[in-house]
Amino acid sequence: MKRALPILAVLVLLLAAIAIANPFFLEPAGFLAFLKRAAPLVILAAGQYFVVVSGEFDLSVGSLVTAEVVIAARLIDGDESATWPVLALLIVAGPLAGLVNGVLTTKLRVPSFIVTLGMLLVLSGAVFLWTGGAPRGALSEGFRAFGRGGLGPVPWSVLILLAVGAAAIWLMRADFGRTLMATGDNERAAALSGVRVDRVKIFAFMLSGLSAAVAAILLGGFAGVSAQAGQGLEFSAITAVVLGGVVLGGGRGSVLAAMAGAVTLEALFTLLNLYGISGALEFTVQGVIIIAAVAAGAVRLPRKPTPRRGDAHAAS
């Protein structure tokens, strides 16, 4: 967790700043509303973490989220009875896209940057081809409940977030976590010690696809159907993971810190909104803070003397 300390400090500062600007934030309802908004990105960051820590990238999650939301709307088309079958389909489709990414990356030895970029193009092309440019259909109330509704005062999305977080932490403590970490740190050494490297990486990609499916269900619930539902989420998720001190190239960082990175990013957006910084300049501030945070993390802590750049791709 040592690498995660800077981001936790930043997170505490941001939360304090939000609380000062908006005292409602300190009440349970206000804080839960914040967590509900943050849930999709945090879940995506957890999925992206598995891929990044294994030494790869997943650039396809944003378009996968869009595809799932658009597909759900078209298939459900307001029909309440279609809710559960479509949900099941989405949950299966996400890991399936991840499986394709993983197999192409490991078996064909194409860098994951390129594989998932190709998947991004294919998915966004296919979605528009199928919808003819504008999403059609509508989500049912039952589907939207996951993003909008709640169990008493606690939104479903916060409960789902907690479940995903617990599952991710459990996975990283299980055998899978250790072999994944070993694979990302030194693929060859891991392979020589008997780790089925390809299988581990494919599973990481499938987890990323699954997290995109869950995020899509939540986003479709409260943000609604649009062809831009997942736009840019892949970059936000990777940024969140890196903010949490996870090293691009693999082998180092904790999943909890990656999710904390996503909460921090969301807190940053909230704060910028509260202080009325215009929509556009928000990006500028975000860019400066991301660079500063990652640079600060890199400077303060000692690095291992391994080559830093490119090893993500070399390992693929």
Partner 1 sequence: MDLLTRARRPARLPHGGPATHLRDPVRVVFLALAGLVAAGWALVALDGGQFLTLESVVGIQQRSAALGIVAIGQTLAILAGSLDLSVAYLISLASLVAAEIMAGQDGNIGPAIAAVLAISALVGLVNGLVIARLRVHAFIATLGVALIIKGVVDHLYDGPAGKVPESFQLLGYSRAGPIPVSAMLWAGVAVVAWFLLSRTRLGYRIYAVGGNEEVARLSGIRTSRVIVITHVLCSVCAGIAGLLLAARLGAGAPTVGTDGGYDLESIAAVVLGGTALAGGRGGVAGTVGGVLLLAVLDTLFNQLEVNSFVKDVVRGAVIVVAVAVYARHGTRRPA
β-partners of residue 150 are 155
Range 161-190, binding partner 1 (CB under 8 A): 186-188
151 phi, psi to nearest 5 deg: -95, 100
- Alpha-carbon distance values, 58 to 23, 35, 162, 246, 285 (Å): 38, 24, 23, 15, 25
Residue with tokens 């996870």: 246
Binding of partner 1 at residue 134 (CB under 8 A)?
no
The span of 28-36, 37-45, 69-77, 285-293 binding partner 1 (CB under 8 A) equals 285-293
Rounded distance between C-alpha atoms, residue 245 and residue 197, angstroms: 23
Specify the residue, 151 or 280, whose C-beta has the smaller distance to partner 1. 280
Range 255-284, binding partner 1 (CB under 8 A): 278-284
The span of 154-162, 171-179, 253-261, 288-296 binding partner 1 (CB under 8 A) equals 288-296
Minimum CB separation from partner 1 for residue 106, in Å? Answer: 11
Contact code string over 34-53 relative to partner 1, x by CB under 8 A: --------------------
Token pair, residue 185, equals 């740190």
The span of 3-11, 39-47, 146-154, 287-295 binding partner 1 (CB under 8 A) equals 287-295
Binding of partner 1 at residue 69 (CB under 8 A)?
no
Q: Which of 147, 209, 249, 253 binds partner 1 (CB under 8 A)?
A: 249
Minimum CB separation from partner 1 for residue 299, in Å? Answer: 7
Token pair, residue 57, equals 């990238």
Q: What is the DSSP secondary-structure string of 35-77?
A: HHHHHHHHHHHHHHHHHHHTT---TTHHHHHHHHHHHHHHHHT
User: In 193-278, where does DSSP find H-type helix?
Assistant: 197-223, 233-243, 255-274
Binding of partner 1 at residue 96 (CB under 8 A)?
no
Binding of partner 1 at residue 151 (CB under 8 A)?
no
HSE (side-chain half, CA atoms, 13 Å) at 153: 6
Helix or strand or coil: residue 155? strand
**How many residues bind to partner 1 according to rule CB under 8 A?**
59
Minimum CB separation from partner 1 for residue 154, in Å? Answer: 33
Binding of partner 1 at residue 305 (CB under 8 A)?
yes
Q: Which residues contact 230 (CB under 8 A, 6 or more apart)?
A: 61, 62, 63, 64, 65, 66, 67, 69, 212, 215, 216, 219
Q: Which of 195, 248, 258, 271 binds partner 1 (CB under 8 A)?
A: 248
The span of 10-18, 28-36, 64-72, 120-128 binding partner 1 (CB under 8 A) equals 120-128
Minimum CB separation from partner 1 for residue 162, in Å? Answer: 28
User: In this structure, is the dihedral angle defined by the CA atoms of residues 119, 210, 206 and 34, taken in order, positive or negative?
Assistant: positive
Binding of partner 1 at residue 309 (CB under 8 A)?
yes
β-partners of residue 56 are none
Q: Which positions lie near partner 1, rule CB under 8 A?
A: 55, 57, 59, 104, 108-111, 113-115, 117-122, 124-126, 128-129, 186-188, 235, 238-239, 242, 247-249, 278-288, 290-291, 294-295, 298-299, 303, 305, 307-311, 313-315
